[in-house]
Amino acid sequence: MSWIHIIFALILLPAIATGMFRILRGPTAADRMMTAQLFGTCGVAILLLLSAGMNNPVLLDIALVFALLAALATVTFVSRTWRDNNKNNHGNLIQ
């Protein structure tokens, strides 16, 4: 087991803890979504580091699934936000 990979994975944990503060305090939904992206990115990075450090290829597959889910969550958030903004703007233009 490579200790350097484990140490770098532990270094990424405070970024997730900081993100928890931002989710609780974030004034807008976009701030919360960016924090969710931070969780996804840090989670994938930690899984990749642990996979390399422990020589466990299963963690690579889990990291890939997390990356795909994070991308899907972002696309869903943007499409819902865009649709809601278009409805609001369209209604304001007619009135």
The string of pLDDT tens digits covering residues 2-55 is 889 888 988 998 988 888 888 888 788 888 888 888 888 999 999 999 999 889
Tokens of 69: 């889910």
The number of residues making up the chain comes to: 95
Q: pLDDT: is 64 or 81 the higher one?
A: 64
- According to the model, what pLDDT value does residue 85 have? 64
This prediction's pTM: 0.76
Place of tokens 């899984």: 47
- According to the model, what pLDDT value does residue 26 have? 76
Q: Are 26 and 56 in contact (CB under 8 A)?
A: no
- Dihedral of alpha carbons 13, 15, 21, 26, sign: negative
Domain ranges within the chain, ordered by starting residue: 3-94
Tokens of 56: 């466990």
